[in-house]
């Protein structure tokens, strides 16, 4: 049917540039396929990146069912946790820093260096049938379990023991009674400051000393924390220090317990607690002599 201007020319009504229906379907399918391939490749790349960046699964530090201590945050001290102590001078030392005159905070039962119990009226030391240490120069002595402690050094008025179980060292220093327990403790802190930096009073009530005494003679105590260092001042590990000092009027004694990584877990408790518990036998068996 012709219009008012006659029949339209051939091909009128469809642009000459438009693709055929078959060509249009083929091109659209190819574009979709390309996008699908690109999406799959991107998904694989992202998945690979996520997989590679994941941290490795945690490895248990100990065998199942066995107690162990966590790895310290600093390199632990090889062998003995601290340098061997230099014996204090028998001259009255000058205080090196202020010292607490008693327990820090309120003690937790059982967290003390000394076990609570009745004090013998005659100051008779307990007996554990261990190794006997005797100092002939000042007439004092004590017992220690050789399975738990090794005698590292000794001389007139002092003994140094290293724990066989813990990262711990213990000093026993004794001088004449013209030095008070408080000044004796200040002198010990002067030695401690040679290898413990950043020393501060330990406010943890769990670390407080309950009823400080040596050989059932009441005295004073203090608890400190800081960082143990090597001989060149390099930080090695966290450290905890407990000092107990007392006098019987003839001699003045101090017992110093130094513990590396004190908060490490040992048999369900802290290493400091376990080390101080092991030191109880030495404190309870201390014999003042001179009787």
Predicted local confidence at residue 211, as pLDDT: 87
Cβ(224)–Cβ(104) under 8 Å?
no
* Distance separating alpha carbons of residues 108 and 269, to the nearest angstrom: 13
Q: Which helix (H) or strand (E) holds 29?
A: helix 21-53
Residue spans of the domains in the chain: they are: 22-55, 131-284
The residue among 184, 263, 269, 172 whose CA lies nearest residue 225 is 263
Rg (CA), the chain: 38
Predicted local confidence at residue 272, as pLDDT: 93
Predicted local confidence at residue 169, as pLDDT: 94
The Cα-based distances of 116 to 222, 223, 283 in angstroms read 18, 18, 13
Q: What share of the chain is helix, strand, coil (3-state, %, to 5)?
A: 20, 30, 50
The residue among 200, 209, 203, 202 whose CA lies nearest residue 107 is 209
Predicted local confidence at residue 10, as pLDDT: 55
Determine phi and psi for 196, rounding to 5 degrees.
-120, 110
Instruction: Give me the tens of pLDDT residue by residue for the chain, a chain 291 residues long.
Output: 555 445 555 554 544 444 555 555 556 677 777 778 888 888 888 777 777 676 555 444 444 443 333 333 323 333 333 333 333 433 333 333 333 333 322 233 333 333 233 334 444 455 556 899 999 999 999 999 999 999 999 999 999 999 998 899 999 999 999 999 999 999 999 999 999 999 999 988 888 888 899 999 999 999 999 999 988 888 999 999 999 999 999 999 999 999 999 999 888 889 999 999 999 989 999 999 975
Cβ(83)–Cβ(230) under 8 Å?
no
What's this model's pTM, rounded to 2 decimal places? 0.59
Residue 191's CB is within 10 A of a number of other CB atoms, namely 20
Residue 104's CB is within 10 A of a number of other CB atoms, namely 18
Structure tokens at 165: 């179980």
Determine phi and psi for 281, rounding to 5 degrees.
-60, -40
Residue at token pair 């003045």: 252
Long-range contacts of 6-13 (CB under 8 A, 24+ apart): none
CATH of 131-284, one of 3.40.50, 3.60.21, 3.10.450, 3.40.1000: 3.40.1000
Predicted local confidence at residue 201, as pLDDT: 95
């Amino acid at each position: 049917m012709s219009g008012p201007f006659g029949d339209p020319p051939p091909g009128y009504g469809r642009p000459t540039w438009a693709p055929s229906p078959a060509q249009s379907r083929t091109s659209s399918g190819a574009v979709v396929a390309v996008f699908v391939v690109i999406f799959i490749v991107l998904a694989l790349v992202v998945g690979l990146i996520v997989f590679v960046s994941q941290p490795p699964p945690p490895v248990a530090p100990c065998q199942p069912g066995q107690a162990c201590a966590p790895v310290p945050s600093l390199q632990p001290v090889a062998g003995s946790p601290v340098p061997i102590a230099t014996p204090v001078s028998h001259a009255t030392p000058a205080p090196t820093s202020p010292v607490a005159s008693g327990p820090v905070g309120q003690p937790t039962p059982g967290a003390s260096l000394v076990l609570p119990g009745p004090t013998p009226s005659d100051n008779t030391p307990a007996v554990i049938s261990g190794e006997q240490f005797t100092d002939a120069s000042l007439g004092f002595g004590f017992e220690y379990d050789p399975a738990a402690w090794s005698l590292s050094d000794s001389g007139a008025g002092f003994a140094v023991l290293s724990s066989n179980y813990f990262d711990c060292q213990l000093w026993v220093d004794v001088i004449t009674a013209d030095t008070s327990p408080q000044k004796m403790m200040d002198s010990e802190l002067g030695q401690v400051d040679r290898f413990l930096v950043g020393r501060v009073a330990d406010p943890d009530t769990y670390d407080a000393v309950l009823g400080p005494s040596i050989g059932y003679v009441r005295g004073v105590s203090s608890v400190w924390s800081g960082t143990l260092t090597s001989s060149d001042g390099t930080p090695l590990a966290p450290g905890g220090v407990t000092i107990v000092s007392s006098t019987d009027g003839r001699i003045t004694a101090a017992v110093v317990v130094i513990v590396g990584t004190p908060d490490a877990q040992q048999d369900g408790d802290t290493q400091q607690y376990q080390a101080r518990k092991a030191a109880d036998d030495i404190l309870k068996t201390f014999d003042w002599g001179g009787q």
